[in-house]
Chain A
Amino acid sequence: MSGSLLFQSLVLGVLLGGLYALLAAGLTLYFGVMRVVMIAHSAFLILAAYLAWWFNERTGLDPLLSLVVTVPLFFLVGVGMQRLLITRLRPATLTMMSVLLTFAIALFIEGMIGFVWSGTQRRVQLPYSGSNIEFFGANIAVVKLVAFVLAAASLGALYVLLKKSRFGQALRATIQHREAAQLVGIRTDRVAALGFGLGLATAAVGGTALALDATIYPSLHWHWVGPLMAIIVVGGLGSIPGTAIAAMVLGIGQSLLQVELGTTWAQTLFYVALFATLMLRPQGFFGGRLAQRF
């Protein structure tokens, strides 16, 4: 492998890792707050990508502007979903039943996308989709950079929100110990609903970032379920910084392995990492004490 190819792959890996971190952030939040395994997260990502594409197709404006509508919309859908569906599951079987429930929601979303926009594969066409910036001999695609900045900004905002605000403290208290949080007067049900809404709002951002540089089709979300689950387990369930680090490591790893081993074998990295984590350190490598109780 030549030096320039190595550097180029490294740059691509960092950009890919950033995108992975954004796509997986909501997933770890749901699990942290509510012990919910949210299979439908990727389906919401694809739905947001379709909305961004449709917005661009209809108005001709930049798909990023669709965030103004989709982020609040997804937040409300998330709160509603938690209030109306997730809370009805019995606490004793919540984790397992949430898989079934959200699986059904994923199928429903996939079906609706196909029904409304047909199965035709779509792509947002931007004047800058093929443009790139030279960076020490490597090329950085503008769309990938935009997606990366979007990821960094929203993860940063999420981090600040969780660390600095009263709501964030309440959310983290709920994540750490639900009963104790209730004892100190936190309305954990409300916090959980808002947390779920927040998770889904990240899906709106993630889906839009994805739409900038991907060809989308209704069943694309199945492709993302496995890798994103692997990322949050490796990162430690419930930990957003852990997820970000794991996403970055796996993104760079995948990008470099692809050069040496080819695409087929590079894809197995996620599953190897998943098995290794479960065998060696089930609570995840970066943070998170939750899995021990899981």
Chain B
Amino acid sequence: MTQWNRPALGLAATLTASALALSACSADAGGGGSDDTITIGISLPLTGDFSEPGKGVQRGYEAWAEMVNADGGLLGRQVELTILDDQSSADRVVQDYEALIAQDQVDLVFGPFSTRLVVPSARVAEEYGMLFVEPAGAAAEVFDQGFENLFYAAPAIANDHYNHLAEQILALPEAERPQTVAVAAMDDPFAQGTAYGLRDKLADAGLDVLVDEVYPPNTTDFSSIAAKISDSGADVVIGGTQYQDAVNLIVALQQLDYQPRLAAFSTAPTNPEFSSAIGEQTEGILAPTGYTPEAPWPSNVEFVEHYTETHGNPPAEDEANAFTTGQVVAAAVEAVGCAEQGDCQQQLIDWLRENEVETVVGPLSWDDAGRPQSAHMIQQYVEGDIRIVLPADAAEADFLFPKPTW
């Protein structure tokens, strides 16, 4: 397709789609179900840098479509996914969504993976007035672009990951409440986002921040940072970490015999390799998590069962966020009663602005920029296993405070 005829084609497409939609609706009303399908356009990084998570998202979308179709489809119509490979390229992802919307005339679109691809593709979707629910892209910049059609299908953006923990700490009686905080965060927007979210909430409530260190992503020797934290004797240690940095920092802290009353590290503790690296000294370590297969939400139980049956292992966070995307769109479609290009998309967007959706990661609602309004669950190592401890209504074990010595 050449560039110059795109707006005209888009307009024509919209008109045709509206016309088709009108006739489809009336057919539905009359006959109750038709052999017509709902097509959903998706572009994913199936090759290139993001191919691993990209494939995870694909598995999640496919699991969602299988379950919806087995259950009779959406609005009585079967769902069909059209998935293109964008090779992890931002140029390709733009082309893909234009082709899907304007040429293939898909009824709905789902988002791709990673902030870098979400932003350009959300712009295309907005141009065509399409609802854009996306499974990845937690960084703050996604929500600063002024998108009016975007919704992030996960519990929280990075800065809100620790909200439940902050509430829990501040709810402690004055005498037991920790007074001082030490923070070490990798120079990375996501890792810093998580740590600084908690740091700022505690600082606002009057706790003293004694150490606030930033280290480059390639740092491997953490003994000096550990010496500083240990010397400060802070009650709480917060790590804005990925993986090896958290492991090395924790071991370095143990070597200096530093015993905090509370220790929270992002990402690393949820990695299965973590406890084989740290050994038995993991007890009491906290981490936020967006998803766990054990979460008690009703739809999650079904999802995990179906997914484990087809794949032989429970779903991970990428699969879950993709599935959540499907659930969010499906909820809007069922409520509004339409799924096609044109005015319907705006109705779907308006509905999501006003309503809460039950998903595999819990109930979700959004602000005007599409930021989800929940927080991550907090997991803690209790008796050697990582368990959900907060919020109380999803807890599998009691919140352990103060942390046992490591």
Binding site for B on A (CB under 8 A): 2, 4-5, 8-9, 12, 15-16, 120-123, 125, 127, 129-132, 139, 141, 143-144, 213-215, 217, 220, 223, 254-255, 258-259, 262-264, 266-267
Contact = CB atoms under 8 A, between A and B. Distances in A.
B244 A263 contact: no
Contact of B228 (A120, A125, A259): A259
Interface string B212-231: 01111011110111011011
A131 to B, nearest CB: 8
Nearest to B254: A130
B244 A264 contact: no
B180 to A, nearest CB: 15
Which 3 interchain pairs have the tightest Cβ spacing? Answer: A130-B254, A141-B255, A258-B224
Nearest to B221: A16
B224 A255 contact: yes
Given A129-B251, A215-B248, A263 B228 contact: no
Contacts of A214: 220, 248
10 contacts: A5-B227, A121-B244, A123-B276, A130-B281, A131-B255, A141-B256, A213-B251, A255-B223, A258-B225, A262-B215
A143 B227 CA distance: 16
B243 interface: yes
Contact of A8 (B256, B279, B406): B256
Interface in B278-337: 278-279, 281
B231 A123 contact: no
Given A125-B279, A263-B213, A264-B214, A132 B256 contact: yes
Contacts of A263: 213-216, 219, 224-225
Given A144-B255, A263-B219, A123 B224 contact: no
B214 A220 contact: no
Interface of B: 187, 213-216, 218-221, 223-225, 227-228, 230-231, 243-244, 247-248, 251-252, 254-257, 273, 276-279, 281, 406
Interface of B is mostly: helix
B194 to A, nearest CB: 19
B255 A130 contact: yes
A9 B224 contact: yes
Contact of B244 (A125, A132, A217, A258): A217
Contact of B277 (A123, A127, A141, A262): A123
Given A5-B227, A130-B255, A258-B224, 5 more contacts: A8-B256, A16-B221, A121-B244, A141-B256, A255-B224
Contacts of A125: 276-279
Counting chain A CB atoms within 10 Å of each CB, the highest count among B213, B215, B227, B228 belongs to: B227
B229 to A, nearest CB: 10
Nearest to B225: A263
A12 B227 contact: yes
B255 A132 contact: yes
A137 B276 CA distance: 31
Contacts of A9: 224, 227
Nearest to B406: A130
A5 B233 CA distance: 11
Contacts of A15: 223
B227 A259 contact: yes
B344 to A, nearest CB: 45
A139 B257 CA distance: 7
A264 B255 contact: no
A123 B225 contact: no
A123 B247 contact: yes
A211 B42 CA distance: 44
A143 B255 CA distance: 9
Nearest to A140: B255
Given A125-B276, A213-B251, A262 B213 contact: yes
Contacts of B251: 129-130, 213
Nearest to A215: B244
A121 B224 contact: no
Contacts of B252: 141
Nearest to B218: A223
Given A2-B231, A5-B227, A264-B187, A139 B255 contact: yes
A5 B216 contact: no
Contacts of A12: 223-224, 227
A5 B231 contact: yes
Counting chain B CB atoms within 10 Å of each CB, the highest count among A8, A16, A130, A266 belongs to: A130
A139 B256 contact: yes
B187 to A, nearest CB: 7
Contacts of A259: 224, 227-228
A267 B224 CA distance: 12
Contacts of B214: 262-264
Contact of B227 (A8, A129, A130): A8
Contacts of B276: 123, 125
Contacts of A255: 223-224
Contacts of A123: 247, 276-277
A290 B219 CA distance: 32
Contacts of A5: 227-228, 231
B231 A215 contact: no
Nearest to A128: B255
B243 A121 contact: yes
Given A9-B224, A12-B223, A120-B273, A4 B231 contact: yes
Contacts of B223: 12, 15-16, 141, 144, 255
A22 to B, nearest CB: 15
Nearest to B212: A262
B406 A220 contact: no
Nearest to B256: A139
A266 B254 CA distance: 23
A264 B224 CA distance: 12
B243 to A, nearest CB: 6
A130 B273 CA distance: 18
Contacts of A132: 255-257
B376 to A, nearest CB: 23
Nearest to B281: A130
Contacts of B187: 264
Contacts of B243: 121, 215
Nearest to B275: A125
A185 B339 CA distance: 90
A144 B223 CA distance: 10
